[in-house]
Amino acid sequence: MVHLWLRAETKPKEHRAALTPSSCRVLIQNGNEIKFSIIIIYSRDEEYEREGCTLVPFGTWKTAPSDAYITGLKELPEYDNSPLSHSHIFFAHCYKNQSGWQDIIRRFVQGNGILLDLEFLTDERGRRVAAFGYHAGFAGSALGLDVWAQQQIHPGQKYPSVEHFPNENDLITYVKDRLNKAISIKGYTPRIMVVGALGRCGKGAAEFARKVDIPEENIIKWDLEETKKGGPFPEILEADIFVNCIYLSQKIPPFLTKEMLDSPRKLSVIVDVSCDNTNPNNPIPVYTGNTSFGNPTIAVETKNTHPLDVISIDHLPTLLPRESSEQFTTDLLPTLLELTNRDTAKVWVDVEKIFRQKASLIDS
């Protein structure tokens, strides 16, 4: 029997779950035990109880049995550097030399725990078994278009905080209404440029634009073929909204530079879905720091009077928490069922090997 412990997400305005009630039903039917500690999530506790999960107090995952897999999505609670002794399954964002990566790995080394990073669970072809990419792009495109609309409807006013939506249709209706008002003011429909358009994230970004009636000719789709010559790319300045959806795996020339933004441009919104601003190879080095749903945009200062707002929210899919969680856990479920063969299942053996390699670089 596999013992899974779903910890509560502590990131502000995070409403997704690594395990949904429907996925818990399947796991329990296959003989697994699931402990459930949660405070803020899109589902009610009763939904999990009905499927046979045991509810336990918030934070008790720290004292869970040693064989428990502590499962979550986003980072562990802040201001806690205590050693980690369990096997943890979550997105740690520390394998591409992001800021603070050594501190995260060190906690596992000191506690003799193991990090099984969701981002690096891959199949035989090297493709991720589960990802939020589509909904990240979808939500990023939605916010990018809405920020552009805000710039037209309420020029000079900062974009307000954002709450999650109960479903996709409500989000589309809201943005479409605001977009139509903005178009009537501006006199034209915005052009949205998606880089990384052939991946899951890019496809989601383009699809949202279509759903709010952006004409296909106004959706500029770039991928490896268009970017192979290397940046910077002045073409980005000709779009109203730039959505960065690439998966950064190596150093590349920047897509934009700060100096370029001083030139005449239409560009007024950047949506950095990839959020690699703490990566030394960041291809959009024109801003610093992530934004949040509580404070969604950063205004970039330039010599140009035309505004430029950046969205850099690192958990965009929580804009649609139920739909994104259901899609993610449906894809992840076959891999979770393989935990019964953790020592031999390639997907789990490989992800532990990555952890061991990183851990070998840390001084405890």
Which among 32, 38, 42 is positioned nearest to 10, based on CA atoms? Answer: 38
Contact 275, 172 (CB under 8 A): no
Burial grade of 108 (CB within 10 A; 0-12, 13-18, 19 or more): buried
Length in residues, the chain: 364
Neighbours of 3 (CB within 10 A): 16
Sole residue written with tokens 């940046």: 231
Spatial strand order in the sheet of 192-195: 219-222, 192-195, 241-244, 269-272, 309-311, 297-299
- In sequence order, what are the residues at sequence separation of 6 or more whose Cβ sits closer than 8 angstroms to the Cβ of residue 344? none
Count of helix runs (H) and strand runs (E) in the chain: 9, 12
User: Residue 295 corresponds to which tokens in the numbers above?
Assistant: 């404070």
Alpha-carbon distance of 269 to 140, in angstroms, equals: 11
- In sequence order, what are the residues at sequence separation of 6 or more whose Cβ sits closer than 8 angstroms to the Cβ of residue 34? 4, 5, 6, 19, 24, 27, 28, 48, 52, 53, 54
Residues classed as catalytic: 74, 93
The amino acid sitting at 12 is: P
> Measured in whole angstroms, how far is the alpha carbon of residue 292 from the centre of its chain?
12
Alpha-carbon distance of 20 to 33, in angstroms, equals: 14
Burial grade of 183 (CB within 10 A; 0-12, 13-18, 19 or more): middle
Which among 338, 209, 355 is positioned nearest to 271, based on CA atoms? Answer: 209
Contact 18, 329 (CB under 8 A): yes
Which among 323, 328, 314, 317 is positioned nearest to 18, based on CA atoms? Answer: 328
Contact 194, 219 (CB under 8 A): yes
